[in-house]
Amino acid sequence: MKQTLLFIGHDFHRHTKSNRFILDLIEKKFDVEICSFVPDYGENGSWLSSLKRKHYDVVLCWQLMPSIRVLRQFCSFDFGVFFPMADYYYRAQKDVTAPIWREYQDFQIISFSRKMHEDLIANGFSSHYFQYFPKPEETVPDGDPDSVFFWQRVSHINIYTLLTLLKNYGIRHLHIHKAVDPGETYIPLPYEYQGQMNVSYSSWFENKEEMLKCMDQSALYVASRYCEGIGMSFLEAMAHGRCVIAPNETTFNEYIEHGKTGFLFEPSAPKPLPKQEIRTIQKNTRDFISKGYREWEKKREEIVPLFTQKAEKDSRMIQKLATIWLRREPEVSANSAPQVPSSSLCVKVKKYVDILRNRSEIYHNIGEKRFCGIRYFLKMERNDGKRILIFFFGIPLLSVEFLEEN
């Protein structure tokens, strides 16, 4: 009889199926119950009521960090496993000093970012590093070396970034995939460039195969997030032999060697890329993915057995963190809410101009809301979450600051 596992993840991944590769491994050993929801960090969340107050052998949290203390009020379990993602770890949290990490100190942590893994180990957590590789595609065309597929995901890395990076390349065709992440703003191609190259557009495709077919027409692929948890989209592009251009951040720079298997750039100050033979980079990329996939096929079998092993944390390092967690733990009673000074509510329309000028600050999306049927998004600032931005139609409109008492 199989053991039982509760898989807690973001509802977004239920549609993208980007975690399917790990579920396939888990389902060989466990009967899996999946709980997907859209996180709301201001409340416990109604998703907890869907749990059946039963016992599981393992609870696995994929990217999301629900309160384990609250979770144990709705179910029980013997072992805990956490798959953190580097994009949230570095862009929203920055490190492990947020008090929620105290509740994960006894979890086995599976890291797909080497940088994040080393940070976790250095702070005493039981982290295990695995580098994921997709299966290489051998029969796809090389694509046009003078054509680029650009998927704008975030506001700050936009068409102006791409035009700067590819200044030394005679790009004849540009395909813009206009499917920005929630709360981000699409930046259109400047009018003066619209007659200089053939431009095509897409928003969402009928299926994944249609998108890959479109992507394969171009030899160049621009990955436009600040950093990635795993990076399924750019890894898939590499598996198709594309020359990927990406920010010099994890996990991009853990796969791409600048000038050999793609290009890396500094998102805060992009510069024109050196002129190189794209076909050579494509060949190197295919060879790299093929070798990595063979290693992944062997290494991945070591992941699931870790789920039922006791976490080997460094108690000395964890104790050092405990003093920081206690200092940062908010003191809020059950019948009270955080006090927000009314003077901290201010209009932030100016930030929209900063986005266009590539000077926007970095925020992380933490949830979708509705007001009178209109969608808006909350985003948390990088510096310890003390300020939350409210976005309407992609425009950063209002800011609420939570000030610490003296």
DSSP state, 400? E
Among 12, 13, 20, 302, CA closest to 134:
20
pLDDT-wise least confident of 208-222, 247-261, 312-326, 389-403: 389-403
Predicted pLDDT at 324? 92
pLDDT tens digits along 47-75? 777 787 899 999 999 998 889 998 999 99
Average per-residue pLDDT in the chain? 83
Considering only the C-alpha atoms of the chain, give the largest distance between any 2 of them, rounded to a whole number of Å: 66
pLDDT tens digits along 204-215? 888 888 999 999
Helix (H) or strand (E) holding 12: helix 11-16
Among 254, 273, 92, 268, CA closest to 168:
273
The answer, yes or no, to whether residue 89 has pLDDT greater than 80, is: yes
The SS3 of residue 268 is coil
Alpha carbons 100 and 221: distance in angstroms, whole number: 37
Angle at 361 between CA 357 and CA 366, to 5 degrees: 125
Domains annotated for the chain, with CATH where assigned, are: 3-130+303-327 (3.40.50), 144-292 (3.40.50.2000), 342-401 (no CATH)
Mean pLDDT of 215-231: 93
DSSP state, 179? -
Predicted pLDDT at 135? 95
In contact, 249 and 258? CB cutoff 8 Å: no
Alpha carbons 217 and 261: distance in angstroms, whole number: 19
Predicted pLDDT at 241? 97
Predicted pLDDT at 347? 34
Mean pLDDT of 280-301: 97
The answer, yes or no, to whether residue 397 has pLDDT greater than 80, is: no
Mean pLDDT of 106-114: 97
Predicted pLDDT at 16? 72
Mean pLDDT of 83-97: 87
Predicted pLDDT at 298? 96
Mean pLDDT of 163-183: 90
CA distances 258 to 165, 240, 247, 263, Å, are 13, 18, 11, 5
CA distances 45 to 38, 48, 67, 119, 339, Å, are 9, 6, 11, 30, 21
Percent of the residues in the chain that have a pLDDT greater than 70, as a whole number: 79
Strands 395-401 and 387-392, by their bridges, are antiparallel
pLDDT confidence bin for 348, thresholds 50/70/90: very low
Mean pLDDT of 179-189: 84
pLDDT-wise least confident of 129-138, 312-321, 347-356: 347-356
Alpha carbons 258 and 255: distance in angstroms, whole number: 10
The answer, yes or no, to whether residue 174 has pLDDT greater than 60, is: yes
The answer, yes or no, to whether residue 106 has pLDDT greater than 50, is: yes
The answer, yes or no, to whether residue 222 has pLDDT greater than 80, is: yes
For helices 278-299 and 232-239, what crossing angle results, to 10°?
A: 110
Mean pLDDT of 7-18: 79
Give the residue carrying structure tokens 């329309």.
349
The SS3 of residue 278 is helix
* Burial group, residue 61, by CB count within 10 angstroms (0-12, 13-18, 19+): buried
In contact, 81 and 48? CB cutoff 8 Å: no
The answer, yes or no, to whether residue 344 has pLDDT greater than 50, is: no
In 176-277, alpha helices (H): 208-215, 232-239
Mean pLDDT of 228-245: 95
Q: Which amino acid is at 344?
A: S
Helix (H) or strand (E) holding 30: strand 30-37
The answer, yes or no, to whether residue 219 has pLDDT greater than 90, is: yes
Predicted pLDDT at 200? 94
Who's near 141: CB < 8 A, 6+ residues apart? 216, 217
Structural tokens at position 99? 């008090």
**Highest averaged pLDDT of the listed ranges 83-92, 292-301, 343-352, 356-365:** 292-301
The answer, yes or no, to whether residue 315 has pLDDT greater than 90, is: yes
Alpha carbons 271 and 289: distance in angstroms, whole number: 27
Structural tokens at position 242? 């594309």
Alpha carbons 172 and 196: distance in angstroms, whole number: 8
pLDDT confidence bin for 191, thresholds 50/70/90: confident
